[in-house]
Chain A
Amino acid sequence: MAENLLSIKNLTVTVNDINIEKKLINDISLEIPALSIVALVGGSGSGKTTTGLSILRLLPPALKISQGEIIFSGINILEKTEDQMRGLRGKEIGMVFQEPLVAFNPVFSVGYQINEVLECHTTLNRQLRQARILDLLQRVGIDDPKRVAQNYPHQLSGGLRQRVMIAQAIAASPKLIIADEPTSNLDVTLQAKIMDLFRTLRKELNLSILLITHDLGLVSHLADQVVVMQQGKVVEAGATDQVLTHPKHVYTQQLIETVKI
């Protein structure tokens, strides 16, 4: 059996909501084998983003990891110092945030922000970095990369921002990408383009992907495995074909039925 690139064991995340300890993530476990694409699906508010952010230790201050282990490439992420985490983020693990407008810094051009990632995590010189930025933007389906690189986040359309975010996440050739709703603002043609890109990168860079999405079409075309969450718990997990054709849990069945309407 292939070794796991990432494994989450019995993770629990809590928040103090009006003095009541609430479990946003309740004892979940999931595994991402090397070179695989694992989809994380589930209802709005079920805890998908929280799971993704836990891996990068980017949870908002109010949220606490109260239990569990997150093992990435054999090391426990929860034992790392903040300094060590900074070396990991962007370099080893790339993140496509669900809300790009919030994730980008509003006062710098997006080209500048991709450049920062390259400067931090690669040995490329200035000229090569510039060429790389344009190449990255082209790979996510942007036909006027020069203009887009110069623009500030608010000057880009929703779909452009989303693709720039993907370009930034893959910039330093990470081993794992956590992609949180990466194609929610893209038309079908671009969605397909991004899927092709993910498949290519998996081969080129030995990349694994945690794909957080509500789009079961995307899941069926791209993911090797599916993990289904409901109210902070994993309710079903397995090979994509298996889960989509023979869903066991009521919630998964309900999801699949609704898609057919």
Chain B
Amino acid sequence: MLLQLKNIKKYFPIAGGFLKAPTRFVKAVNDINLDILAGENISLVGESGCGKTTLARLVMLLMPLDSGSIIFDGQDITKFSPRELRNYRKNVQLVFQDPYSSLDPRFTIRRVMKEAMTLDVKNYKSESDKEARIEELLRAVGLKAEMLNRYPHEFSGGERQRIAIARSLVLNPKLLILDEAVSSLDVIIQEQIIQLLKKLQQDFGLTYLFISHNLKVVRKISHKIAVMYRGKIVELAKTDELFKNPLHPYTKELLSAAINYKSILRDKDIDVSKRTELIEKIPGHFVLIN
């Protein structure tokens, strides 16, 4: 087991007004359990605003959990010493949904990449080690070495997204979280990135948590899919099984929308607010039921 999320929660207060204590919350991540095996490729899909990015940020320790625990390689990450934390940040990388905000505007891309390399002095001893690796990574995402002296704002949206992907690979992480990382790419580059990710998985056993709205890409790339809805995981199964045999009402809705390209009017609200549990309906296929 590489990563284990145990009953994790994150609520955001909704401002009730001046001087008033908040009484309502956005339950962004509401009691989630999820196990990710080493070398596994798991996708997280679900409605806009259901809590996917929040989950990713929690795993990255970018904000504190309200409750629950996160276990990485057998250790509770919230109890890490500064040294262990540095090591963790090397092993787990996140490609942000908004690449712009994660690239320092004052640095050229060369500097951005080199900055990331300072965490790993063993692998990057000399300047030429660094340069060679930077060029290799840039090529892998379809960019050219001559772009290295440019600043983040001097690129197109899709190019920035690819720079963020290249940077996330600098430290050879064990777990890579990709948050809508191919959403701004044309299909040809998208395909190139998918092949790159597959190859890295084969060669180095990289583990992915892939967050995406693009079900076509998800289907191509993942072993397992977790479906999230209003802060909860409502279904979890192997990719083929999920597409063949969706069990939860939200999953059914999502998959049929993908086929018809139509917005669906819900005749009945799908309620997940009550005490619910993920039940293994069919071996390896879990669904949330009341």
Residues of chain A touching chain B, judged by Cβ–Cβ distance below 8 Å, are 17-18, 41-45, 48-50, 60, 62, 98-99, 101-102, 147, 150, 155, 157-160, 163, 180-181, 184-193, 196, 214, 216-217, 221, 254-255, 258-259, 261
| B91 in contact (CB, < 8 A) | no
Please tell me which one of the listed residues A157, A189, A216, A259 contacts residue B263 in the complex, with CB atoms under 8 A apart. A189
B23 CB within 8 Å of chain A: no
User: Which A residue's beta carbon lies closest to that of B154?
Assistant: A62
* A49:B157 contact, CB within 8 angstroms: yes
Chain A residues near B190 (CB, 8 Å)?
214
Size category, B interface:
35 or more
Q: Which residues on the A side are within 8 Å of B48 (C-beta)?
A: 157-160, 163, 185-187, 190
**Cα distance A42–B162 in the bound complex, in angstroms:** 16
Do A188 and B257 touch across chains, with their CB atoms under 8 A apart? yes
Contact (A45, B213) CB under 8 Å given A157-B53, A192-B262, A255-B188: no
Query: Does B128 make an interface contact (CB < 8 A)?
Result: no
Give Cα distance in the complex from A188 to B253, angstroms: 10
- Given the known inter-chain contacts A44-B156, A158-B53, A221-B261, please indicate yes or no for A258 contacting B47, CB distance below 8 A: no
A255 contacts which chain B residues (CB < 8 A)? Answer: 186-188
Complexed CA–CA distance, A221 and B261 (Å):
9
- Across-interface contacts of A193 in B (CB, < 8 A): 263
11 example contacts (A-B, Cβ-Cβ < 8 A) are as follows A17-B150, A150-B14, A157-B49, A160-B48, A180-B157, A181-B157, A181-B183, A185-B48, A187-B48, A188-B257, A196-B263
Q: How many A-B residue pairs have CB under 8 A?
A: 121
Give A120 to B180 CA distance when docked, in angstroms.
Answer: 34
* Residue ranges of B at the interface with A (Cβ–Cβ < 8 Å): 12, 14-15, 26, 45-49, 52-53, 97-98, 100-101, 142, 149-150, 153-159, 162, 179-180, 183-191, 213, 215, 253-254, 257-258, 261-264
CB of A103, distance to nearest CB on chain B (Å):
10
Known A60-B153, A99-B98, A99-B157; judge A217-B261 contact (CB<8 A). yes
**Interchain CA distance A158-B187 in the complex, whole Å:** 21
Which of A44, A185, A217 contacts B180, CB < 8 Å?
A: A185
The reply to whether A101 and B184 contact each other, CB–CB distance below 8 Å, is no
Contact call A187/B46, Cβ cutoff below 8 A: yes
The reply to whether B157 and A101 contact each other, CB–CB distance below 8 Å, is no
Which residues from B are CB-within-8-Å of A50? 156
Asked, given contacts A98-B157, A158-B48, A159-B49, whether A192 binds B263 with beta carbons under 8 Å apart, the answer is: yes
User: CA separation between A259 and B216, bound complex, in Å?
Assistant: 10
Which of chain A's residues have a CB closer than 8 A to the CB of B261?
188, 191-192, 217, 221
Give the residues in chain B near A150, CB-CB below 8 Å: 14-15
Q: Give bound CA distance, A17 to B45, whole Å.
A: 40
Residue of A nearest to B45 (CB): A187
A99-B157, A190-B48 in contact; A43/B257 too (CB < 8 A)? no
Residue numbers in A under 8 Å from B15 (CB-CB):
150
Residue of B nearest to A161 (CB): B98
Q: How far is the CA of A47 from the CA of B82 in the complex (A)?
A: 44
Measured CA separation A192–B256 after assembly (Å): 12
Q: A185 contacts B213, CB within 8 Å?
A: yes
- Select from chain A the residue with minimum beta-carbon distance to B192: A258
Query: Are B184's CB and A181's CB within 8 A?
Result: yes
**Chain B residues near A62 (CB-CB < 8 A):** 154
A44 engages B158 (CB within 8 Å): yes
Minimum Cβ distance to chain B for residue A231 (Å): 12
Q: Evaluate contact between A101 and B101: CB separation under 8 angstroms.
A: yes
Whether A43 lies near B184 (C-beta < 8 A) is no
3 smallest A-B Cβ distances: which pairs?
A159-B48, A44-B158, A192-B263
Determine the chain B residues whose CB is within 8 A of the CB of A214 once the complex forms.
158, 184-187, 190
Contacts of A187 in B (CB 8 A): 45-48, 213, 254, 257
Task: Look across to chain B and name the residue whose beta carbon is closest to the beta carbon of A143.
Answer: B49
Contact call A43/B149, Cβ cutoff below 8 A: no
B189's contact among A43, A191, A221, by CB below 8 Å, is which? A43
Further contacts, 6 of them, CB under 8 A, given A102-B98, A159-B213: A44-B156, A44-B189, A50-B156, A102-B101, A189-B257, A189-B264
Complex: A192 Cα to B262 Cα, angstroms: 5
Considering residues B46, B142, B183, B263, which has the most beta carbons from chain A within 10 angstroms of its beta carbon?
B263
Contacts of A190 in B (CB 8 A): 47-48, 263
Taking a contact as CB atoms under 8 Å apart, the answer to whether B180 and A49 are in contact is no
Among A99, A147, A157, the most chain B Cβ lie within 10 Å of the Cβ of A157
When distances are taken between beta carbons in the complex, the residues of chain A under 8 Å from B150 are 17
Q: How far is the CA of A60 from the CA of B152 in the complex (A)?
A: 13
Q: How far is the CA of A133 from the CA of B155 in the complex (A)?
A: 33
- Are the CB atoms of A98 and B184 closer together than 8 Å? yes
